[in-house]
Amino acid sequence: MKKVIGTVTTYHGDEHPYLEGHKVRIVAVLHNAAKPGIDVDGPDYAVLQDDRDIARAGGVTEHDRIEVQPWIEKEGRYSGVTSDPRAADLACFAHLKTGARRAGGRA
């Protein structure tokens, strides 16, 4: 099983310009949150905060958003405020960009 929760990576996307190039820590996977028209109250959406749950859901895909905490260098800690970039915009999931483009999503 691949470790996702707690992974430290960098953000490289255009939705959250304040995160560009910054180190972030993964705190949750928002399963299918990047799918067009997703109903966050429906059965196809889930907030996953455990690596076993992520594995059972099929792992991280191009349809997921990832809840991250940015590293605050000058304070030597992670922020208490989170952001939810597309999975493919994180360095550790960059391989998903091609799949997102094929599926018609923004990558």
How do residues 24-33 score in pLDDT, each as one tens digit? 999 999 999 9
Angle at 51 between CA 47 and CA 52, to 5 degrees: 95
Tokens of 43: 């059965």
* DSSP-assigned beta bridge partners for residue 23: 10
The residue behind tokens 């923004």 is 106
Mean pLDDT of the chain: 91
Angle at 97 between CA 86 and CA 61, to 5 degrees: 60
The residue behind tokens 């959250």 is 16
pLDDT band at 106; cut points 50, 70, 90: very low
Model pLDDT for residues 7-60, shown as the tens digit of each residue:
999 999 999 999 999 999 999 999 999 999 999 999 999 999 999 999 999 999
For the segment 98-104, the average pLDDT, to the nearest whole number, is 50
How far is residue 88 from each of residues 42, 72, 101, measured CA to CA in Å?
A: 23, 22, 10
Q: Which pLDDT does position 87 carry in this prediction?
A: 97
Give the span between the Cα atoms of 102 and 2, in whole angstroms: 24
* DSSP-assigned beta bridge partners for residue 86: 65
pLDDT band at 76; cut points 50, 70, 90: very high
Q: Tell me the domain boundaries of the chain.
A: 8-102
Model pLDDT for residues 78-99, shown as the tens digit of each residue:
999 999 999 999 999 999 986 5
How far is residue 87 from each of residues 26, 57, 99, measured CA to CA in Å?
A: 10, 15, 11
